[in-house]
Amino acid sequence: MKKTRLKILTDKMFHKLWMTADVYTDEDEFIKDMAASVKIFKFESIGLDLDDYIYMLRNIYKARKMTFKEIADRSEVKKSELSHTFCIPIRTVEDWYCGKNKTPTYINLMLIKYYHLLDLGKYTRLESDLNYIKTKPNIYAKNAKANKEVDVPKKDKSRSDNINKNIENNKDKDKEMGTANTISNIYEGHRRSAQDYYDEYISSEDYESYLDKLIMDAKRRKKS
């Protein structure tokens, strides 16, 4: 079976094309000029023919001109989801969405790449995307053991077993709100232990309100 040769677009070349697209207001004019700039953008060196190159240019131009609203609508995510996923204040997201404030170009690009809205063509990949795929498994492998269970004193084994059992039953909550380490950071220097707060946290039904309460209390103590 014949292997398909991957066409890798360097980040430097993509950067040039992305920033150049910002200058143009006409898509066809951009494609015409970039296709003629063979000396600058050596598309043949990465295995692209002219049709592939034009396809890539067209999609880069369209992606560069996408507004925050268009990105959100095409990715089919709610404004609240964008706020929670990237820890952006909801008011900022709403202002970007309605066009009240202009989104920074790099924010748009990161969202476009995160939601896979950039189509460079068949078998064409960005250099940084391939590097990300290579590094991702190593990062998760390194932290997998550390994230497996909460570290608790060995002297109380029954308590340890109960806590780890509660963690298993509260995985969804842990993903959204964090574990004992989160609460420990909020209450750093306070007399109660992180484990005491965690016990109270996992027994709370309204865990979102509970963590909000912890954060508010911590802020009050910091001001005082």
Q: What are phi and psi of 74, to 5 degrees?
A: -70, -35
Query: Could you give the angle at which helices 11-23 and 50-64 cross, rounded to 10 degrees?
Result: 60
Q: Are 47 and 5 in contact (CB under 8 A)?
A: yes
Nearest to 154 by CA among 146, 163, 165, 141: 163
Q: In this predicted structure, what is the pLDDT of residue 48?
A: 81
Q: In this predicted structure, what is the pLDDT of residue 155?
A: 47
Q: How far lies 6's CA from each of 13, 53, 105, 123, in Å?
A: 16, 14, 28, 5
Q: In this predicted structure, what is the pLDDT of residue 179?
A: 46
Q: Are 196 and 163 in contact (CB under 8 A)?
A: no
Low-confidence ranges of the chain (pLDDT < 50): 1, 149-150, 152-153, 155-156, 163, 174, 176-177, 179-180, 183-184, 186-187, 189-190
Q: In this predicted structure, what is the pLDDT of residue 141?
A: 60
Token pair belonging to 159:
């308590």
Sign (positive or negative) of CA dihedral 75, 80, 86, 92: positive
Which residue reads 């909020």 in tokens? 186
Q: In this predicted structure, what is the pLDDT of residue 176?
A: 45
Q: How far lies 41's CA from each of 26, 110, 121, 128, in Å?
A: 19, 23, 17, 18
Q: In this predicted structure, what is the pLDDT of residue 79?
A: 94
Q: What are phi and psi of 154, to 5 degrees?
A: -75, -20
Give the tens place of pLDDT for each residue, 116-131: 999 998 888 888 887 7
Give the tens place of pLDDT for each residue, 100-159: 999 999 999 999 999 999 999 888 888 888 777 777 666 556 565 555 544 544 544 555
Q: In this predicted structure, what is the pLDDT of residue 181?
A: 52
> What span, in angstroms and rounded, lies between the C-alpha atoms of 21 and 41?
13
Token pair belonging to 164:
């780890």
